[in-house]
Amino acid sequence: MEDILMYETFSGYKYAVTNYKVVLDLGYKGRAIVGDFSTVNTDEFGVVVAGIDSTVTSGRKGISVAKEASTAISGRDGISVVQDMGKAVTDTSGVAIVIGSGTAIAGRSGWAITDADGTSMVGDDGIATAGYNGLAAAGEGGELRVRWFDGRRYRTAVAYVGEDGIEANVVYRVDDSGKFVRYAGRSNARTTDEITDPTNF
């Protein structure tokens, strides 16, 4: 049975659409749509959408969306979007997008995007880290780290934006020899802007 809650607060209103066993903590004019067994929190003007068994937090004017069994945390003006069993976390004005069950963490004004089971971490000054078979991108002056397997053990390949042909804001993967190569998905060379465009998937 779905409950619809709308109630007045001291300085504004809160609005939520909820289901079974939900924990809500909404800030001034915060909004939430929440599935069963989920926990959500918002600051002022924050928006959260949580599927079943998810934890979702949004800072002031932040937007956080988590599907099932996921965690999405957005800082002030941040955006976090995650599918099943993933985690997306942003600092102020950061954007973290997880497609599948990976993890993306973005620092202040940073972007972190990962495909299924991959990991991309982008902080201030652009450090991006990805797990085995993962993808990574970083801005000017940034650093890329991607795990790969050499046939005997796992290793981590490291590259720096601006050196050895590594370009800023271009998505890379690591080949079987441990070298960084541009990620060629549906477009020839995908940038961080292209990878967030749903028409490319």
Taking the C-alpha atoms of residue 58 and residue 89, their distance in angstroms, rounded to an integer, is: 10
Decide: 84 and 101 in contact? Cβ < 8 Å: yes
In this model, does residue 198 exceed pLDDT 60? no
Q: Is 194 helix (H, G, I), strand (E, B) or coil?
A: helix
Q: pLDDT tens digits, residue range 14-23?
A: 545 555 556 6
Centre a 10 Å sphere on the Cβ of residue 75 and count the other Cβ atoms it contains: 24
Average pLDDT over residues 93-117: 77
| Whether 109 contacts 92, CB under 8 Å | yes
Q: Rounded to 5, what percent of the chain is helix, strand, coil?
A: 5, 45, 50
117 CB-contact burial (10 Å; exposed 0-12 / middle 13-18 / buried 19+) = middle
Predicted confidence at residue 39, as pLDDT, reads 82
Q: What is the pLDDT of residue 178?
A: 96
Listed by start position, the domains of the chain span: 1-116, 125-201
